[in-house]
């Protein structure tokens, strides 16, 4: 959950903070857009920005209505659009929760687009027809809106309020976005009855970071009622009473926050952007004992097991009793039995693409419909493994796109996925039954995200490492090249194993045909695939083999022939272009790429020049590269090996990593030079 609020919080800010700071704080009022904002040509601190957030102001506080507390969240955001690349900034998404017992309501929603037309400011208001709700998953929904008539040079703004009847949901606030932010401010006011744990993250400094004490008043009301017996009937008077309570006011602001540049070499932007999160730890009303709420992992575990559908999804596997017995009788040792049950479930139930730690259907319904979310499938897997007599338990996971779990902050919404674990002596076998393109022992890359939390039937939990250093993405490419009359002919064998094989099988399944897959996978300027075959596409526990025959036109100029012996390389040489980086580079898996090329020198040619053999290492063998080349008679052999032996490179290693990539790209592009011998 995320977002923020404004007006009351801004008023409190004016009362509580020094004028020196306030003088530097932008004041925005809804509908009052300035000519300066509309005529701004670029953002001076980042002239490449497609848009800039002029101000994003939030305020969250407690209200006491109908003798119940509710959390009120207000937000006011204004954005300047510079060019067409930022027009999608006008598409606003507001997530909210709508469960049976807990609901959030969005109110006071409005927005507008402002344009400078004929020297005057024109306002285009948000149309109610451009607002609609949609289901995300389970009880989570989102309200989507599109601001009208957005063009280059426009200023857009929107405001809304979310009221929640659960004080568990105290809104988090993100100070950083895809666009640079000139000013982001958040105020939170929390009565003394509620205890929250605050978690801050990011690489940007606060311009304001204040904490003040204040007094609040909440009015308690009661209705009159009749009291008595058969002889007397006395009516007590209704009334109200104002109750004073101390409150803590938190006030944060950041200014000139750079845009967060997302790329595929991180887990998710949510792990690194500057933001604040809140988790309710406990509640203590006047004259009442303190009541802890999910303030320990044990309580988080208890709450999860008490939730509808979690435990029951592991306990209702009787309808599969016969199939489980057949598999158990055939596969007697725990490892092969675990693999067999996982494979059985993969073949009979298809993952619908939804990540969840909560089952949406009963196990029997999942099996009958042959479809379910990740929790439907993997909680059923845990139950089947237990039915087979194995020590199986669920493991809560946060996927890479959901963000890493902080072990020191017990928060239930840290997780969004669940897998299965089987205890084998002193080790844990981790299993997932959602992906048919990988063997049972190979977790999907989306799950490789730090640690998961195993929780057993007694509510006892422990942390498990999700990555396995013994399992990599392995690719080996063997190429043989011959040359005749300036035309290169050759064959190639590509071996993919473990994660490389799983990804290749997945890509093949997504392609419209095998021909289309080969065409896209191995396309290269001037090269054409004349024949191919694919082996072991369905045998997910073995290496996948691709056999290729190819032709390549090379131009001979003045008797000189140039050729690059490294064909079909999957290495991306221009992966890192930013001058600096403040957050780590993270790969989902370790990987090895081995390329072996043999070039037969054609009759009438001699070697004019060969690339030099070389080796590069980075971060104490965290990454290694070797390039060995030699000639024996009419054969030139090149062996290139790229190995990444760790998945995370810290920000201070970025410069070295960038240079490593650049050096590899340059080396892999070097050519062999053959010269025609004069007759």
Residues 532 and 562 in one domain: yes
> Is residue 237 in some structural domain?
no
The per-residue pLDDT for range 546-559, each reduced to its tens digit, is: 999 999 876 677 88
| Dihedral pair phi/psi, residue 319, rounded to 5° | -65, -15
Strand ranges (E), 258-399:
275-283, 291-292, 350-351, 371-372, 392-397
pLDDT of residue 222: 63
Residue 457 sits in the same domain as residue 512: no
Question: If you average pLDDT over each of 84-93, 301-310, 463-472, 526-535, which comes out highest?
Answer: 84-93
Angular region, 48: left φ>0, alpha ψ -120 to 50, beta rest: alpha
Same domain, 427 and 453: yes
**What pLDDT, on a 0 to 100 scale, did the predictor assign at position 483?**
87
Do residue 629 and residue 587 come from a single domain?
yes
Reference 417, options 428, 408, 430; nearest CA is 430
Q: Is the pLDDT of residue 370 over 70?
A: yes
pLDDT at 308 over 80: no
Q: Decide if 619 is inside a domain.
A: yes
Q: CATH code at 425?
A: 3.10.620.30
Residue 25 scores a pLDDT above 50:
yes
Query: Is residue 228 in a domain?
Result: no
Q: Is residue 229 part of a domain?
A: no
pLDDT tens, residue by residue, 335-357? 999 999 999 999 999 999 999 99
Tell me: do 135 and 109 sit in the same domain. yes
What's 32's domain CATH number?
Answer: 2.60.40.3140
For residue 26, the model assigns a pLDDT of 66
Tell me the β-bridge partners of 532: 548
Looking at 433, 465, 497, the residue that finishes a domain is 465
Q: Is residue 505 part of a domain?
A: yes
Separation of alpha carbons 95 and 136, rounded Å: 9
Please spell the DSSP secondary structure of 314-379, one letter per residue.
Answer: HH--GGGHHHHHHHHHH--SHHHHHHHHHHHHHHH-EE-S---SS-SS-HHHHHHHTEE-HHHHHH
Q: Are residues 525 and 663 in the same domain?
A: yes
User: Where a domain ends, among 465, 489, 516?
Assistant: 465
User: Cα dihedral angle (656, 658, 664, 667), rounded to 10 degrees?
Assistant: -100
Note whether 126 and 261 are same-domain residues. yes
Identify whether 530 is part of a domain. yes
Q: What is the pLDDT of residues 98-127, one digit of tens each?
A: 887 788 999 999 999 999 999 999 999 999
Average pLDDT, the chain: 88
Same domain, 418 and 275: no
At residue 325, φ and ψ (nearest 5 deg) are: -65, -40
Angle, to 10 degrees, between the axis of helix 499-510 and the axis of helix 514-521? 120
Mean pLDDT of 213-223: 80
Q: Domain boundary residue among 465, 487, 514?
A: 465
Residue 12 pLDDT grade (very low, low, confident, very high; cuts 50, 70, 90): very low
Q: Residue 661 to residues 444, 523, 526, 596: CA-CA distances in angstroms?
A: 26, 22, 25, 20
Report the alpha-carbon distance of residue 154 to residue 123 in Å, rounded: 10
Q: Domain range holding 662?
A: 473-676
Establish if 2 belongs to a structural domain: no
111, with CB counted inside 10 A (0-12, 13-18, 19+), is buried
Overall domain count for the chain: 3
The verdict on 153 and 195 lying in the same domain is yes
Beta 225-228 vs 233-236: how paired, if at all? antiparallel
Query: Is residue 226 in a domain?
Result: no
Same domain, 438 and 527: no
pLDDT above 70 coverage of the chain, percent: 92
Q: Are residues 561 and 415 in the same domain?
A: no
Q: Mark whether 171 and 309 lie in a shared domain.
A: no
């Amino acid at each position: 959950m995320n977002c923020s609020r404004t007006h009351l919080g801004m008023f409190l800010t004016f009362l509580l903070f020094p004028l020196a700071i306030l003088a530097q704080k932008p004041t925005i009022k809804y509908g009052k857009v300035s000519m300066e904002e509309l005529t701004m040509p670029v953002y001076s601190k980042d002239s490449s920005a497609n848009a800039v957030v002029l101000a994003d102001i939030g305020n969250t506080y407690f209200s006491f209505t109908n003798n119940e507390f509710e959390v009120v969240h207000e937000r006011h955001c204004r954005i300047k659009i510079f060019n067409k690349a930022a027009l999608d900034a006008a598409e606003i998404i507001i997530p909210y929760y709508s469960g049976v017992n807990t609901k959030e309501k969005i109110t006071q929603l409005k927005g507008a687009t402002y344009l400078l037309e004929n020297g005057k400011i024109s306002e285009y208001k948000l149309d109610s027809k451009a607002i609609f709700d949609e289901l995300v998953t389970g009880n989570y929904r989102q309200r989507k809106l599109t601001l009208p008539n957005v063009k280059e040079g426009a200023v857009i703004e929107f405001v809304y309020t979310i009221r929640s009847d659960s004080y568990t949901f105290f809104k988090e606030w993100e100070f950083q976005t895809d666009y640079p932010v000139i000013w982001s401010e958040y105020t939170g006011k929390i009565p003394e009855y509620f205890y929250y744990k605050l978690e801050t993250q990011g690489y940007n400094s606060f311009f304001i970071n204040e904490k003040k004490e204040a007094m609040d008043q909440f009015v308690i009301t009661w209705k009159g009622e009749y009291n008595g017996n058969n002889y007397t009937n006395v009516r007590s008077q209704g009334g109200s009473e104002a109750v004073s309570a101390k409150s803590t006011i938190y006030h944060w602001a950041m200014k000139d926050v750079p845009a967060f540049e997302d790329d595929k070499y991180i887990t998710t932007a949510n792990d690194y952007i500057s933001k604040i999160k809140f988790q309710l730890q406990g509640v203590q009303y006047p004259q009442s004992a303190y009541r802890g709420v999910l303030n320990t992992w044990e309580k988080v575990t208890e709450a999860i097991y008490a939730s509808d559908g979690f435990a029951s999804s592991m306990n209702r596997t009787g309808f599969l009793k016969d199939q489980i017995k057949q598999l158990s009788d055939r596969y007697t040792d725990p490892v092969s039995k675990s693999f067999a049950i996982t494979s059985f479930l993969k073949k009979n139930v298809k993952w619908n693409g939804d990540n969840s730690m909560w089952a949406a259907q009963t196990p029997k319904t999942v099996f009958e419909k042959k479809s379910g979310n990740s929790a439907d499938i993997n909680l059923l897997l845990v139950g089947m493994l237990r039915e087979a007599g194995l020590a199986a338990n669920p493991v809560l996971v946060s996927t890479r796109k959901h963000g890493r779990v902080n072990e020191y902050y017990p928060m239930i919404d840290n997780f969004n996925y669940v897998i299965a674990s089987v205890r084998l002596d002193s080790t844990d076998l981790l299993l997932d039954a959602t992906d048919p393109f990988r063997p049972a022992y190979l977790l999907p890359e989306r799950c490789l995200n730090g640690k998961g939390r195993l929780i057993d039937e007694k509510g006892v939990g422990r942390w498990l490492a999700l990555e396995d250093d013994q399992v990599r993405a392995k690719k080996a490419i063997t190429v043989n090249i011959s040359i005749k009359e300036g035309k290169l002919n050759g064959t190639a064998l590509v071996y993919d194993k473990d994660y490389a094989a799983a990804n290749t099988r997945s890509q093949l399944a997504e392609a419209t045909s095998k021909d289309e897959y080969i065409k896209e996978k191995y396309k290269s300027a001037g090269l054409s695939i004349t024949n191919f075959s694919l082996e072991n596409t369905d045998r997910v526990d073995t290496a996948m083999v691709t056999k290729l025959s190819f032709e390549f036109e090379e131009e001979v100029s003045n008797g000189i022939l140039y050729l690059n012996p490294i064909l079909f390389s999957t290495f991306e040489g221009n992966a890192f272009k930013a001058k600096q980086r403040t957050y780590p580079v993270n790969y989902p898996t370790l990987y090895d790429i081995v390329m072996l090329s043999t070039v037969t020198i054609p009759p009438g040619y001699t070697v004019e020049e060969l690339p030099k053999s070389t080796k590069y290492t980075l971060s104490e063998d965290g990454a290694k590269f070797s390039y060995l080349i030699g000639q024996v008679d009419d054969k030139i052999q090149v062996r290139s090996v790229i190995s990444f032996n760790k998945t995370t490179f810290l920000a201070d290693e970025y410069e070295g990593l960038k240079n490593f990539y650049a050096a590899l790209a340059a080396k892999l592009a070097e050519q062999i030079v053959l010269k025609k011998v004069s007759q």
